[in-house]
Structure 1
Amino acid sequence: MSSDTEPGTIEEVDLLVCGAGAGGMTAALVAALEGLNVVLCEKTGQVGGTTSTSGGTTWVPGTHLSELAGVPDKVEDARAFLESVVANRGGIRLREAFLDSGRPAIEELDRRTDVKFVAATAHPDYLDGPGSAYGGRALAPVMFDGRLLGRDDFARVRPPRPEFVGLGGMMVGRNELDALLSPLRSIGNFRSAVTIVGRYLLDRLGYRRGTRLLMGNALVARLLHSLRKAKVPILFETGVTELIVADGRVVGAVMEGPSGTRRIRASKGVVLATGGVCWNRTIRERLFPKGTRDYSLGPVSNTGDGADVATAVGAGFDDGGDSPALWMPCSSYRRADGSLAVWPHIILDRAKPGLLAVDASGRRFVNESDSYHDFAMGQIRNNAIPAHLICDSSFIRRYGMGMILPGARNLRAMIKAGYVTEAKTLRELAEKIGCEAPALAATVEAYNHSAATGVDEAFGRGRSVVNRFNGDPAIGPNPCIGPIGNGPYYAMAVRPSDLASSAGLSGDEFGRVLDREGEPIAGLYACGNDLASIFRGTYPGPGTTIGPAIVFGWRVAKHAAGKLKDTPDNSAGAGTDERNYRATL
């Protein structure tokens, strides 16, 4: 049944899913495959949520895809890794469930749907430790041809961030950047550039943007394509406003949509997957550190609806452990039309040699090459909001910085827009950004000494696997450290912005929402960012938000369909005081 033509006919279902991000779409899809009568409701007119604008990397240990890629990953190794990263922060039952179900969840999606991944042979975990992986654990969505959706459904896929597309709507993979930026460097580059741009130009004859979908957009489109094949109704512009409770059980929800207010009954339960805390002002003011509350990378429609309706019926709310959110350092400027252009500094500049970050005093405070979350956590811990990325002109020409492309072709425009600050000397740069000139000079001198020796004694830059992976292998002895030379010099302000929630609804290993006493609320589930992070505010590796979203979406659907049984297993998570369970199908 098409939700676009008959949105008012659905009043009673087996499972009601609220929110069409990766978690909610997976839950709805798997529930339909299990034979449940499902309806998926999305508050906006487009599917995908935060996933659609992300890189789409999905962290799931021990899958068959790692074996197919020739980099087999073992769940036992991932368990040891997570024990070292998360340590005694709690949440072992949920992590055991995630590790237990990751492989069957990905296998089933691969076998029964159009949701396809490939394991990266080289995409390291973000931290070193026992069991950390260099490849196999991070899964990348396979490119998808958006034309397969048809024009109407293609328009339903939330587009990527405008800063991350070329020519007004062309998606480009990380491994394709060199060909597009330097098409005349080789015959291979030229052929690749012509193929990519040619396809895009043909797309624009009939579509508002390119249909060659990559990263998170490819994952979302594949989920939507699979949902349509499974004939799952999707009610767009329909958000949850209240849960219906009878005899202590959630039996449905009040939804607000184009046809007005309506009550949808759900015999198996309601799944909350509305995007997490994100733009919920009350929760942000209560939990988020100062300097991080004004901007989020999530869609503005994600206003914490799941948390609001669940806590209204007695659900517990978890503060997220070490941090209420997972972060990216972002630079920004106002476009001519008044809109805000935002660039998340993920991997393309911070890890490269010849750049450092300073706080308001002009001193370093963090390992600049660490993961985006750990860099931003360094900002928060050291009151370095904003921080400034510092480099010289040779760095800009070679690597670019933020929205300034390699080659610095748009540098003048970015200076004029106030996005980056330029100065002839370090003293002048310090004056312009408001830091202490002697301190900045001393910082650069110490950094250049480290570049000569290859050893960063202050912060250990370049010691970890992920540091070196994202550095420049052509530079030695340390691929993450290079000298800052003569001026002109440049400074770019960065602030932490949340990419996903860590705080969220308290839940158990089946995705059941728990009340304030820790007991499951019958008929109420959560997944995605609505469920508190299973990693307790840490960020182990690439895709450690999407991975649990998909796996717990799968588990929620299986449990609602009666296909997951819990049996005690004291061997799982040995060494903890918590009771652990292994899921059996």
Structure 2
Amino acid sequence: MERDELLTPWGCVMTMGQTRAWDLETDVVCIGSGAGGMSAALTAAIEGLNVLVVEKTQYVGGSTAISGGAVWIPNNSQSSQLGHKDSMEQAKLYLDRIVGNWASDEMKRAFLEAGPEMVRYLEQRTEVKLIARAYSPDYYPDTEGASLGGRSMDPAPFDGRSLGKNFDLLRPPLKEFVVLGGMMVTMSDAYHLLNVTKSFASWRHGMKLVARYASDRLRHRRGTRLVLGNSLAGRLLKSALDRKIPVWVSTPARRLIVEDDRVTGVIVTKDGRELAIKARRGVVLATGGFPSDIALRQEFLPHPTGLWSMAPEGNTGDGLQLGQAVGAQANRNNASNAFLAPISILEKPNGETVKFPHLVWDRARPGLMAVNGSAQRFVNEATSYHEFGLAMYDSHKTVPSIPSYLICDSAFLHKWGLGLALPGRRPFRHLIKAGYLVEAPTIEALAQRLGLDPATLAATTVRFNALAAKGEDEDFGKGGNAYNRYLGDPSVKDRNPCLGPITTAPFYSVRVYPGDIGTAAGLVTDRHARVLDDKGQRIAGLYACGNDMNSVMGGTYPGPGITLGPALTFGYLAGRHMAGVA
């Protein structure tokens, strides 16, 4: 430790006087390489600052790279072209109804005002290109201010070959979301691939994908046609490389440096050495929250909880702890401290754990129901993944509901798949052998194998089938709104596309747990992403965005892309503020 330095009770380095010897000086240090950190880095660099990005893991992209990639930006410039007359007032009304007082008006307005600006700014100056969805309902489509489309944007497909030798720096997508061992597909691609023998258009589309992938595998370990969150992460990385922003991987941040009540730098570990890096304009915390740290999960999240997260293993709360070490305020009082999702878990013989998030593919389809430990339904299966997770915890207060059980028949399994059991009659016997997928010749036998009451599950199934025949779920409303129907069977036009019978033996089930796709609780900031202390005062030189920043949605989940939208937006605001741009 340098002369006149003190190690504070929080673990940060506080310098008394100006005697520190810096290993490197720059304007901005961004800790983390997901959407938030890279947006801040790019914006600061575009505005003329020198920037360094440090990343704890060996890959760039964070949870962005393995996400679905949706970016929720109300009132963006493409909405009206798609026939959706959006406005800031309508979006604010919607957030007021869903988010309410879980977030301040200041933060909601900052996001809504800056979001469309951010999209234009990055599109004009970087490789980031977002395409608004013509039809993609908000998650509460019957609420005042909701929209049926235009607000959710997807990254345009990206050619990973343009990264050259840096392609291998990009975090790969989840293995469970690729086909043929490494080919990325969107939901539209998946529909085409499932219909290659039924439609010439689907056959042609599928053959183009396969031909491109075959060519890729001659030179690369996976496909280079990037979509979803991998495309967004790839576009951000390409933009950083184009601007010659150094990105140091395998470089965890250890401590923040405080001088005269201002964060002036950070100590990182690189190649086995501790380096002190001065940040003249600011340090940005963007490490992805704490979903992979069991102690923080138990502190912030409802019980029971386990390591039930789809986030990367490196997201262990580094930003949260670095911030708290210098007095930053962490908000524990959100509607939910995590963005929940039902996940199923496969334990492999070699000890490896494989997790599958049941987000949008199977739960809303006709012929699937969910039951709790009493063998009774407890939720609209087609609701958002976040609401499904909340329902599991709510049901668990009175009835064992963790795990809960997704149940279908063989016709459903072959057509739609169930978790890791993929559709299209793919092999699945290994999943049965592993205990992940449970199979039985009758509903009663399935109940016995799940440890449920056979008579109750049989009665629940009879009731579900009667509702399916009627076409209306009088009990829980499956298929009762535009969002539900959007995720139902797209070929069904004349009846409820989310309801179908469970009748064709054998019958199947997977256990699901209330996991998450990231944490919502984080460091409290102002509208410029400046971190605040416990008294609400700004900590000079310190910013936070992405899941290190407390969710502007207050732990609610209004629509697809409400994590990446704010991450990019508040990263943009942080970058501009550090550069002194009004």
TM class, shorter-chain normalised?
Answer: over 0.9
| 1:515 corresponds to 2:538 | no
Which stretch has the larger CA shift, 388-397 or 177-186?
177-186
Q: Distance in 2 between matches of 1:164 and 1:527?
A: 27
Equivalent-residue separation in structure 2 for 1:320 and 1:122 (angstroms): 33
Provide closer, same or farther for how the CA distance between residues 9 and 156 of structure 1 changes in structure 2, counting only shifts above 3 A.
Answer: farther
Residue aligning to 1:212: 225
Structure 1 residue 176 and structure 2 residue 194: aligned? no
Picking from 523, 543, 549, the partner of 1:525 is 543
State TM-score, norm by structure 1.
0.92
Q: Post-superposition shift, 1:405?
A: 2.2
Q: Distance in 2 between matches of 1:391 and 1:113?
A: 46
Shift of 1:553: 0.2
Given candidates 477, 482, 489, the residue that maps to 1:472 is 489
Q: Name the structure 2 match of 1:442.
A: 459
Identify the residue that residue 122 of structure 2 maps to in structure 1.
109
Q: Which range moved further: 177-186 or 31-40?
A: 177-186
Listed as ranges, the matches of 1:241-280 within 5 Å are: 241-280=254-293
- Given the alignment, which residue of 536, 541, 545 partners 2:563? 545
Counterpart-to-counterpart distance in 1, 2:290 and 2:242: 31
The offset of 1:150, in angstroms, is: 0.3
- In structure 2, relative to structure 1, the CA distance for the partners of 1:269 and 1:194 (3 Å cut) is same
Choose which of 75, 88, 100 in structure 2 pairs with 1:62. 75
Q: Unmatched 5+ residue regions in structure 1?
A: 1-7, 565-585
Shift of 1:68: 4.2
Q: Which residue of 1 aligns with 2:408?
A: 391
Aligned with 1:556 (options 555, 574, 578): 574
Q: What is the percent sequence identity of the aligned residues?
A: 45
Aligned amino acid, residue 435 of structure 1: L
CA contact (8 A) 2:33 2:62 kept: yes
Is it true that 1:160 corresponds to 2:183 in the alignment?
no
Please point out which of 474, 495, 516 is paired with 1:457.
Answer: 474
Q: Distance in 2 between matches of 1:138 and 1:240?
A: 33
8 Å contact 1:275–1:530 — kept in the other structure? yes
Whether contact under 8 Å (2:69, 2:564) holds in the other structure is yes
Q: Secondary structure at the match of 2:45?
A: helix
CA distance in 2, matches of 1:320, 1:409: 44
Residue 316 of structure 1: how far off its partner (Å): 0.5
* Distance in 2 separating the partners of 1:219 and 1:409: 30
Aligned to 1:355: 368
Partner-residue secondary structure (3-state), 1:140: strand
Aligned partner of 1:411 among 428, 431, 436 = 428
The amino acid across from 1:167 in the alignment is L
Match of 2:520 among 502, 506, 513: 502
- For structure 2, list consecutive stretches of 5 or more residues without a partner in the other structure: 1-20
Equivalent position of 2:149 in the other structure = 135
Tell me the residue number matched to 1:572: none
| Contact 1:183 1:190 (C-alpha < 8 Å) held by counterparts | yes
Aligned alpha-carbon RMSD (Å): 1.6
Give 1:462 deviation, angstroms.
1.4
Aligned partner of residue 539 in structure 2, secondary structure: strand
What's the CA shift for 1:486?
A: 4.1
Other-structure match for 1:577:
none
| 2:12 counterpart residue number | none
Equivalence map 1:6-21=2 (5 Å): 11-21=24-34
Cα deviation code 1:277-301 (max 9, x no counterpart)? 1222332121222232223211111
Equivalence map 1:298-337=2 (5 Å): 298-319=311-332, 321-337=334-350
Match of 2:550, SS? coil
The alpha carbon displacement at 1:144 in A equals 0.5
Distance 2:247 2:316 in 1: 20
Shift of 1:259: 4.9
**AA paired with 1:145?**
D
SS at match of 2:267: strand
What is the identity, as a one-letter code, of the residue corresponding to 1:119?
A
CA contact (8 A) 1:166 1:172 kept: yes
The letter of the residue matching 1:394 is A
Would you say the 8 A contact 2:308–2:343 is kept in 1?
no
Aligned residue in 1 for 2:250: 237
Contact 2:308 2:513 in 1 (8 A): no
C-alpha contact 1:527 1:553 (8 A) present in aligned 2: yes
Q: Which moved more, 1:82-91 or 1:130-139?
A: 82-91
Q: Is the 8 A contact 2:72 2:151 kept in 1?
A: yes
Distance 1:401 1:295 in 2: 18
Q: 1:226 to 1:106 in 2, by over 3 A?
A: same
Matching residue within 92, 117, 121 for 1:79: 92
Q: Distance in 2 between matches of 1:172 and 1:9?
A: 46
Partner residue in 1 for 2:9: none
Instruction: Work out the CA distance in 1 between the residues paired with 2:315 and 2:109.
Output: 29
8 Å contact from structure 2 (residues 377, 460) kept in 1: yes
User: Would the aligned equivalents of 1:164 and 1:171 in 2 still touch at CA under 8 Å?
Assistant: yes
Preserved CA contact (<8 Å) 2:372 2:404: yes
Aligned pairs, number: 556
Name the CA distance, whole Å, in 2 between partners of 1:486 and 1:202: 41
- 2:162 pairs with 143, 148, 157, which one? 148
Residues in 2 aligned to 1:392 and 1:249: alpha-carbon distance in whole angstroms: 61
Assess, with a 3 A threshold, how the Cα gap between structure 1 residues 118 and 381 changes in structure 2: closer, same or farther: same
- 1:219 and 1:387 mapped to 2: Cα distance? 33
Contact kept in structure 1, 2:291 and 2:307, CA below 8 Å: no
* Deviations 1:194-238 (CA, angstroms, capped at 9, x unpaired): 211111111111111111111101001100111111111112211
User: Could you give the per-residue CA deviations for residues 158-211 of structure 1, whole angstroms, max 9, x where no partner exists?
Assistant: 000011111111111111113323322222222222211111111111111111
- In the alignment, the residues of structure 2 paired with residue 331 and residue 432 of structure 1 have an alpha-carbon distance, to the nearest angstrom, of 17
SS in 1 for 2:423: coil
Q: 2:289·2:547 contact (CA, 8 Å) conserved in 1?
A: yes
Please give the alpha-carbon distance, in whole angstroms, between the structure 1 residues aligned to 2:427 and 2:101: 48
* Cα distance change, pair 26–321 in 1 and its aligned pair in 2 (3 A): same
